[in-house]
Structure 1
Amino acid sequence: MKDRRKEMAQQLLSRYYREGENFIMNIVTGDESWVACYDPQLKEQSKEYRHRTSPRHKKIRTEQACKKVMLTVFWDCEGVVHREFLPKGCMINSERYINTLRTLKIRLQRVRSHHPVFLLQHDNARPHTRARTIEVLSSLGFTVLPHPPYSPDLAPSDYYLFRHLKKHIKGIRYASDDKLRTAVSSWLRLQPVDFFETGIRKLISRWIRCIALNGDYVEV
């Protein structure tokens, strides 16, 4: 596994050295993550002092209903290109991911028409690597960058975007799924362009660090 991580990092870094800024600016990265309606800042916040004679606390229905939502987001150096939330009762399979990719391509053609190519960076989750998904990716004109399995340290959404998002909402209780979705969408919309560019550019230093560590995990 370490050898494969190092090899892929070398491939990507070599391509960056050959192509320069165009390579970084054409990367579109995306991933999915659960976002919780309430993630306590400290363990103590998830506890409640109650005397043994105290009445049992009753939660309102919206609190019971709101637990977490699945966010899918694609972004590049210029900002968010597409984001969506998984409807309740659904799951991300190959067909759903293909529909997302088709929507993404339409969005890219609208808001990134100045880009000659789109280099897709996503992980090796099963919906991303099924034969049908790979076929559609090719038909849509995406070039998929190599990504080693089990490597969130080399995936910008994992080491950067989701980390900052979850830090922002940590300790806040959202009473409903809709309020959480609104808060997440607002946060994504309000981030400046340099926030996203910084996240993508961190790939370069992480590739270098991965190679120096002979493929070992890159710490924050």
Structure 2
Amino acid sequence: MLTDEMKRQRKTTCAELLKHYEEEGEEFIQRIVTGDESWVHHYDPESKRQSMEYRHKSSPSPRKFKAVASARKVMLTVFWDSDGIVHIEFLKQGNTFNLERYISTLRKLSVRLKRVRPTKHAILHHDNDREHTSRQTEEALHKMNFVVIPHPSYSPNIGPSDF
């Protein structure tokens, strides 16, 4: 159940975004860089020896006696805009996703954006995870000159992505 304050905040956020769109049009949409994290399965389906074998396109695939996928979950952080993926990063196994890690990722994203989208002044859109909304993150985003689209609280139905 949303309180009246939450409803007001949601309406204000939506009105601000519509105002920007009315003023800038498609340029506003093209400047938005969306980011999110998700756990994904990582597979190594072929052994090194199998990948070195030469096979013709029409030849049958080699038979494996025991097919065991080396599946493990890894954290994927991805940022994209209307032109495609801008930055992608996998969290190495054994590491944890925390505030310092997220700020480090944002620094890498900032450098990458300057290289691949130099003419755009990016607007960042991410959800309200603790790492995304902490004071340290907000300070780091301010230092990197990121503008952040406010994400309405308690809005799981409008998450930034569902990749």
Name the TM-score class by shorter chain.
0.7 to 0.9
1:118 to 111, 119, 122: 122
Q: How much has 1:155 moved relative to structure 2?
A: 3.4
1:23 to 25, 28, 35: 28
What is the DSSP-based 3-state SS (H/G/I as helix, E as strand, rest coil) of the residue aligned with 2:161? helix
* Per-residue Cα deviation, 1:101-149 (whole angstroms, up to 9, x for no partner): 000011000000011x110001110111111111110000100111012
- TM-score of the superposition, structure 2-length normalised? 0.75
Q: How much has 1:154 moved relative to structure 2?
A: 2.7
Q: How much has 1:152 moved relative to structure 2?
A: 4.0
**Residue 89 of structure 2 corresponds to residue 84 of structure 1:** yes
In the other structure, the counterpart of 1:71 is 76
2:132 to 128, 132, 139: 128
Give ranges in structure 2 of 5+ residues lacking alignment: 44-65
Q: How much has 1:67 moved relative to structure 2?
A: 3.4
2:38 to 13, 25, 33: 33
* Per-residue Cα deviation, 1:14-70 (whole angstroms, up to 9, x for no partner): 2211221121111111000112359xxxxxxxxxxxxxxxxxxxx87x64x523221
RMSD: 2.1
In the other structure, the counterpart of 1:8 is 13
Q: 1:94 to 1:35 in 2, by over 3 A?
A: same
Which structure has the highest helix share of the two? 1
Which structure has the highest strand share of the two? 2
1:144 to 141, 148, 154: 148
> Number of paired residues?
136
- TM-score of the superposition, structure 1-length normalised? 0.57
In the other structure, the counterpart of 1:98 is 103
Larger radius of gyration: 2
Higher relative contact order (CA 8 A, sep 6+): 1
Q: Distance in 1 between matches of 2:157 and 2:114?
A: 29
Q: Distance in 2 between matches of 1:37 and 1:106?
A: 27
Deviation >6 Å, runs of 4+: none
Matched residues, percent identical? 54
